[in-house]
Amino acid sequence: MKNAIKKPKGAGEKFGIKITVDKKLDPVSKKPLFASKLDRVNAIIASLQHAH
């Protein structure tokens, strides 16, 4: 049986900043933001000597 993991601290608990869920961001999060950068990241990981 797997051990249960303690939930790590989030930014609110760790730093005392306010974190507000804003559903207006949901459609934006579905957009392919930074898509070209993601291609670059995939290429970087692919070129690692030891596959991730």
Partner 1 sequence: MNYPKYDLNVSSESDLYEFYSEGNNGVIRKLIAFSATQYSELYNLAFGDATDSDDVDDTVESKNGDRDKVLATVAASVYEYTSNYPNRNIFFGGSTPSRTRLYKMVITKNYDEIVSDFDIFVLYNDGIEGSLLKREHFNVKAEYKNCVGFIVQRKLQNI
Interface contacts to partner 1, rule CB under 8 A:
3-15, 17-23, 25-26, 28-29, 31, 33-34, 37-38, 41-42, 44-45, 47-50, 52
Is the CB of residue 19 less than 8 Å from the CB of residue 10? yes
Q: How far is the CB of 1 from partner 1 (least distance, A)?
A: 12
Handedness of CA 7, 8, 13, 17 (dihedral sign): negative
Q: Which two tokens stand for residue 38?
A: 């993601």
Q: How far is the CB of 16 from partner 1 (least distance, A)?
A: 9
Q: How far is the CB of 48 from partner 1 (least distance, A)?
A: 5
Which single residue is written with the structure tokens 């070209």? Answer: 36
